[in-house]
Amino acid sequence: MTYYGLLKNLDLNSVTLNELKGIHLYNGLFHEVQRVKLSLDGSPNAISKDNSQPVYVPNAEMTKEFYDFILEVYEDVIENSLIGFFYAYEEDILGLDEIDTRKIALKYYKEVARLTIKDEFDILSVRKSAAGHRLMNRAKKLELFNMRQEALQENLVTQNPMPLTHFLIGDATYFDERLIAKLPVLDEVLKFEASLRILLTLNEQFNFEENDFGSTPSTKNLVTLQPKQKRKKAALLSDDDATNFLIDTVFSKQLKKDSK
């Protein structure tokens, strides 16, 4: 890794937060840009001290490396969430034919996406048909996940300086499972990555939508699902069932276990 241990000689007890910010800038870990306020009428403003403020933007390569480091450190936490999810999922599809299995999988697929993105944003594209009619298409679930992942990568670096700093000085012992409960953005990242792998696994089998957004974990992280051939009718999961399962059964139990 390029950035892990880059500041291994840094004594955290001897620097202030402002000094640490200067060290980050000096080493190219962040760069300063000027954020300009928009005028009320939307016209551009000239950059000046009166209408701008400095913003510190993290190095994209470092941001990605730190995010990947976090996923590697907490791989067992993510895997345990996957095991819990697919254990319940396999029970739900037991005895179903391929058609009914696909219905259950699609229900989960949509619900996991809804719970993870939380309707915080969506994308509509507008185009015209050959006859001149306006046609609207919603963004794919995986496209929204890809955008959310990029935002989380930056949030992980910017919301709290300490985890990144311990990464930069090469202090791997700092990243234990107790940190998950102390750092909300870390908890959010791990839940997000578990949800993403659930979607990718279900999409790998059922091809709900094309995945052309680069979110492809290694094959060891994908769970192989085999539809059961015996026919059996079952009701689809309600929204409450899916919500309670994902939050209360999978994620909450894992965090309770880790906090002991």
Question: How do residues 80-136 score in pLDDT, each as one tens digit?
Answer: 999 999 999 999 999 999 999 999 999 999 999 988 887 555 555 556 667 666 666
Question: What's the mean per-residue pLDDT of the chain?
Answer: 79
**b/e sequence 229-257, b meaning 16+ C-beta within 10 Å:** eeeeeeeebeeeebeebbeeebbeebbee
Least confident stretch, 83-92, 186-195, 234-243: 234-243
CA geometry: angle 138, 144, 148, nearest 5 deg: 155
State the pLDDT confidence band at 52, using cuts at 50, 70 and 90: confident
The pLDDT value recorded for residue 41 is 59
State the pLDDT confidence band at 182, using cuts at 50, 70 and 90: very high
Question: Do 185 and 156 contact (CB within 8 A), yes or no?
Answer: yes
The pLDDT value recorded for residue 246 is 56
The pLDDT value recorded for residue 229 is 37
Of 243 and 95, the one with more pLDDT: 95
Residue 222 DSSP class:
S
The pLDDT value recorded for residue 157 is 95
- Neighbouring CB atoms inside 10 A of 7's CB total 20
The tens digit of pLDDT for each residue in 60-80 reads: 999 999 999 999 999 999 999
- Neighbouring CB atoms inside 10 A of 202's CB total 23
Report the pLDDT averaged over residues 212-220.
Answer: 50
The pTM for the full model equals 0.76
The pLDDT value recorded for residue 73 is 97
Of 141 and 105, the one with more pLDDT: 105
The pLDDT value recorded for residue 128 is 66
The values of phi and psi at residue 136, to 5°, are -115, 135
Q: Sign of dihedral through CA atoms 144, 84, 72, 155?
A: positive
Residue 14 DSSP class:
G
The pLDDT value recorded for residue 231 is 35
**b/e sequence 125-159, b meaning 16+ C-beta within 10 Å:** eeeeeeeeeeeeeeebbbbbbbebbeebbebbbbe
pLDDT at 259 over 60: no
Residue 31 pairs with which residues in a beta bridge? Answer: 57
| Cα dihedral: 129, 130, 131, 135 (round 10) | 0
